[in-house]
């Protein structure tokens, strides 16, 4: 069995906000000895283990890491349950699952991060959470405390950076934009991220999948920026429509015209946004055609299989799993389109037409 005591001493020490020098003083040894333990150069003598466990308020077994396998297995169960719940928009259930996990494993940062995420999503105005406004204020202090704890102590860089960005967002949402901006400014720039630096260290068999993964990430990021540009209200309706047209062209280019055949949320959301823009300029036919197509896509999305696959040159093999979809809305997409998106005032001028009513009827089929 491989002992992970060095990593655990470092983890517990930082969790207690104790320096190497302070720990060494408590134990009556040199701080260099503590450093060597944490670097796994050597192990502490067995006589120190009970004292270390007492200082860190844990058990010798946890300090040695002998129950890490069982913890990992149980944490994975919590994370899997959480993912199922978030894919169905059951945010209260997500919070409950995460709280149960943290209660059992209070120092597990994957679970702490999920709890922070669930509390944050509980204040998402785009879902169907009735008390989302109250939740923003209700969970503000807890989200902040969780984020600051993860930022300060979490040894996993990915979790730490994710929580840091969410903490900044939470500050901005609660009117503390200057604080949020300071935290955002502490994040590494995209030019210094791992993906931009590690090409030279890759083996030959790693290079193709690496490039395709990075192209996919950049593609998803570009799509998000383009959709935000089209819907932020800073452009004219004509220019916004042009941006969405380019968004659609980008999809065809990147995915060899295959993505439109995959049941994705964005294949409904974006045409609805485009229809809203055409409604502003009074193009009735374009609006109805877009909404009819979007309604069929919504039906397809709600009936999508558990797994969808496609393969293209730039992205390689792409797998879309139903359970990976995350939402703050427990309604079907047909319900969301019918009761929320089509309720927008831009569609009032066609609301009582037979063609619009047929679209509503399509969405009532599920």
CATH number given to 5-64: 1.10.260.40
Give the model's pLDDT for residue 123. Answer: 97
Residue range 206-225, pLDDT digits in tens: 999 999 999 999 999 999 99
Q: How far is CA 235 from CA 107, 161, 199, 241, in A?
A: 47, 32, 38, 9
**pLDDT higher than threshold 80 for residue 69:** no
| HSE (side-chain half, CA atoms, 13 Å) at 238 | 0
CA dist., res. 54 & res. 308, Å (int): 51
CA angle 314, 322, 275 (to 5 degrees): 75
Q: State mean pLDDT over 226-241.
A: 97
Q: State mean pLDDT over 308-322.
A: 95
Q: State mean pLDDT over 223-236.
A: 96
Give the model's pLDDT for residue 1. Answer: 41
**pLDDT higher than threshold 60 for residue 243:** yes
Residue range 255-280, pLDDT digits in tens: 999 988 899 999 999 999 999 999 99
pLDDT category at 351 given cuts 50, 70, 90 is very high
Q: State mean pLDDT over 47-53.
A: 90
List the one residue out of 214, 208, 237 whose CA is nearest residue 346. 237
The rounded percent of the chain whose pLDDT value lies above 90 is 81
Sequence ranges of the domains in the chain: 5-64, 89-183, 196-363
Listed range (63-67, 157-161, 243-247) with the worst mean pLDDT: 63-67
Give the model's pLDDT for residue 66. Answer: 66
**pLDDT higher than threshold 60 for residue 318:** yes
Are 296 and 260 in contact, with CB atoms under 8 Å apart? no
**pLDDT higher than threshold 70 for residue 334:** yes
Give the model's pLDDT for residue 46. Answer: 87
Listed range (88-97, 191-200, 214-223) with the worst mean pLDDT: 191-200
Q: What region does 20 belong to: left with phi over 0, alpha with psi -120 to 50, or beta?
A: alpha
On the 0-12 / 13-18 / 19+ scale of CB atoms within 10 A, 162 is middle
Highest mean pLDDT among 23-37, 65-79, 133-147: 133-147
Give the model's pLDDT for residue 67. Answer: 63
Are 309 and 319 in contact, with CB atoms under 8 Å apart? yes
| HSE (side-chain half, CA atoms, 13 Å) at 268 | 23
Which is more confident, 155 or 291? 291
Are 5 and 43 in contact, with CB atoms under 8 Å apart? yes
Q: Is the dihedral of CA 323, 325, 328, 334 positive or negative?
A: negative
Q: Is the dihedral of CA 167, 168, 173, 175 positive or negative?
A: positive
Q: What tokens does 107 get?
A: 């120092």
Are 291 and 269 in contact, with CB atoms under 8 Å apart? no
Task: For residue 321, report the phi and psi dihedrals to the nearest 5 degrees.
Answer: -100, 135
Give the model's pLDDT for residue 233. Answer: 95
The rounded percent of the chain whose pLDDT value lies above 70 is 98
Are 65 and 3 in contact, with CB atoms under 8 Å apart? yes
Q: Please name every residue paired with 317 in a beta bridge, in sequence order, or none if there are none.
A: 311
């Amino acid at each position: 069995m491989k002992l992970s005591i060095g990593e655990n001493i470092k983890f517990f020490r930082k969790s207690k906000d104790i320096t190497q020098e302070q720990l060494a003083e408590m134990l009556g040894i040199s701080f260099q000895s503590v450093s060597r333990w944490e670097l796994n150069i050597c192990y502490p003598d067995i006589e120190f283990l009970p004292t270390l466990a007492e200082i860190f308020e844990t058990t010798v077994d946890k300090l040695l890491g002998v129950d890490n396998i069982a913890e990992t297995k149980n944490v994975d169960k919590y994370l899997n349950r959480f993912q199922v719940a978030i894919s169905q928009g059951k945010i209260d259930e997500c919070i409950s699952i995460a709280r149960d996990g943290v209660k059992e494993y209070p120092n597990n940062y994957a679970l702490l991060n999920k709890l922070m995420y669930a509390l944050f999503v509980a204040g998402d105005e785009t879902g169907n959470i009735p008390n989302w406004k109250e939740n923003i204020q209700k969970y503000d202090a807890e989200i902040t405390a969780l984020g600051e704890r993860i930022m300060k102590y979490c040894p996993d860089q990915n979790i730490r950076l994710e929580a840091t960005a969410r903490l900044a967002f939470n500050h901005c949402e609660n009117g503390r934009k200057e604080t949020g901006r300071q935290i955002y400014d502490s994040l590494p720039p995209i030019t210094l991220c791992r993906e931009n630096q590690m090409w030279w260290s890759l083996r030959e068999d790693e290079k193709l999948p690496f490039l395709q993964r990075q192209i996919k990430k950049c593609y998803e990021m570009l799509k998000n920026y383009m959709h935000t540009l089209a819907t932020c209200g800073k452009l004219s309706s004509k220019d916004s429509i042009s941006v969405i047209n380019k968004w659609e062209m980008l999809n065809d280019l990147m995915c060899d015209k295959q993505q439109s055949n995959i049941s994705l949320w964005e294949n409904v959301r974006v045409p609805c946004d485009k229809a809203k823009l055409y409604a502003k300029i009074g193009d009735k036919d374009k609006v109805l055609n877009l909404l009819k197509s979007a309604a069929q896509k919504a039906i397809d999305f709600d009936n999508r299989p558990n797994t969808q696959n496609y393969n293209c040159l730039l992205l390689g093999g792409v797998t879309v799993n139903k359970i990976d979809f995350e939402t703050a809305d427990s309604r079907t997409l047909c319900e969301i389109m019918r009761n929320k998106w089509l309720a927008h005032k831009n569609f009032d001028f066609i609301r009582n037409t037979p063609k619009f009513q047929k679209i509503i009827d399509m969405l009532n089929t599920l």
